[in-house]
Amino acid sequence: IEGKPAIQRLTERLSKSRFIDDLIIATTTNLDDDILCDWAERNNINYYRGDEKNVLNRVVNAHLKMKSDIVVEVTGDCPLIDPQFIDQGIKIFLNNQYDVVTNVVKPSFSQGIDVQIFKFSLLKWVEENIKDQVVQEHVSIFFYENPNKYKTYHMEAPKELQAPNIRMQLDYKEDLTFIKKIYKNLENTKGKFFSYRDILQLLNE
pLDDT, tens digit, 9 for 90 and up, residues 99-126: 999 999 999 999 999 999 999 999 999 9
Predicted confidence at residue 87, as pLDDT, reads 98
Alpha-carbon distances of 194 from 3, 16, 156, 165, rounded to whole Å = 17, 11, 20, 20
pLDDT of residue 64: 97
Q: What is the pLDDT of residue 38?
A: 98
Distance between CA atoms of 109 and 137, rounded to whole angstroms?
23
**What count of other Cβ atoms lies within 10 Å of the Cβ of residue 200?**
19
- Residue 183's pLDDT is 97
- Residues in the chain with pLDDT values less than 70: none
Mean pLDDT rounded to a whole number for the chain: 96
Indicate the helix (H) or strand (E) that contains 48. Answer: strand 46-50
pLDDT at 9: 97
In angstroms, the Cα distances linking 92 to 124, 141, 157 are: 22, 20, 14
Give the pLDDT score at 146.
Answer: 96
Identify the CA nearest to 68 among candidates 23, 118, 115, 120: 120
- Residue 177 CA to residue 186 CA, distance in Å, equals 14
Q: What is the pLDDT of residue 81?
A: 97
Say what the pLDDT of residue 160 is: 96
